[in-house]
Amino acid sequence: MSPVRALLWRGPGAALEIEPILLPPPGPREVRVHIRAAGVCHSDLSMVNGTLAPAYPLVLGHEAAGVVTAAGPEASVAVGTHVVLNWAPPCRRCWFCGNGQPWLCETAGAPTAARGATADGEPLHVTLGLGALAEEVVVGDHAVIPVPAELPFATAALLGCAVLTGVGAVHRTAAVRPGESALVIGLGGVGLSTVMAARAAGADPLIAVDVSDAKRDLALSAGATHFLVSGDDLSAQVRGLTERRGADHSFECVGRSATIRAAWRATRRGGQVTVVGMGAKDDMVSLAALDIFHSARTLRSSVYGNSDPDRDVPDLARQVLAGDLDPAALITDQITLDESPEAFARMSRGEGARSVILLP
């Protein structure tokens, strides 16, 4: 086991550090992937800022693309294949997979998995079965999705989380139709990807919301028709743009009770509220019983965009190569692995969209 470098979190209060880790050789149906690009996603921040309570020491990262460099004898993917990592690979055998809902697979999406060791031999955990903020990963062959080699790595990485989630929330969960109004709250990578997808679906007006004016230009260039700074009058402002009714669709891309309630209040009677952000288990959302009945709104979540990544990531890759989808616009910072702790600091300050780590 030769060491590779990875972004490691050693538990509450510890700083994020680049450290050497030891990965096991690929098992019979596993592959080793040389990571070439990895995004820093808000769910990685949730691992270390107290929102979630993952096992540690933990390798962060779950949105990445690279090249297969070694494969077990029974692996379905050959050495040299360019791949996007899949943080919720479906088993294809459980009830949910059989029911056409592979994003709810019983075996997929655990926050962490045990894999490898620190340089001094302490057992290690990896984020969402991947631990992709690293020079290499060893994962099951069902956790990689082949993509064309001409797809740029930075773009490919984003297809594995932000883009699949945003596009799926709009097209698969909410099924936005042309001319419907849409509200998107929270403009990180997933939120901006949701704006982009809602624009492509023909949402109008398309109202993007964030906590400060800093995201205005990003929102408008992603296709928003209006940008609002969130505040107590958000619902009134949205009604002012939607003939007093409220939005047909709201997408909450933060994962907090306050923004879920804000999305709920700004949605029209009979409209749909889609929760895309992953929140904390003790952050309770309070809604009045009468309001639930009278508003006739639908409140639901979108897990990994209600997508089947094996089907949908190659489809997104085709759209990118055809020029119909441009996730590169989501990338505000291209940095090295050594600079990745600073990307977490930027994200917790609410700055920028996606930071993408590029590896040689």
CB contact at 8 A, 35 and 75: no
Compare residues 266 and 303 and give the one whose CB is closer to Zn ion.
Answer: 303
Structure tokens at 74: 């029974």
In which region does residue 80 sit, left (phi positive, over 0), alpha (psi from -120 to 50) or beta (all else)? left
CB of 23 to Zn ion, least distance (A): 21
CB of 40 to Zn ion, least distance (A): 9
For 81, list phi and psi in degrees, rounded to 5.
-70, 135
Q: Which residues bind Zn ion (CB under 5 A)?
A: 41, 43, 90-91, 94, 97, 105, 161
CB of 322 to Zn ion, least distance (A): 25
Compare residues 33 and 241 and give the one whose CB is closer to Zn ion.
Answer: 33
CB of 171 to Zn ion, least distance (A): 18
DSSP 287-336: --HHHHHHH--EEEE-GGGG--HHHHHHHHHHHHHTTS--GGGGEEEEE-
Compare residues 6 and 253 and give the one whose CB is closer to Zn ion.
Answer: 253
Report the distance separating Cα 262 and Cα 272, nearest Å: 13
CB contact at 8 A, 164 and 313: yes
Compare residues 60 and 176 and give the one whose CB is closer to Zn ion.
Answer: 60
Compare residues 87 and 227 and give the one whose CB is closer to Zn ion.
Answer: 87
170 HSE (CA, 13 A, CB side): 27
CB of 277 to Zn ion, least distance (A): 11
For 192, list phi and psi in degrees, rounded to 5.
-70, -35
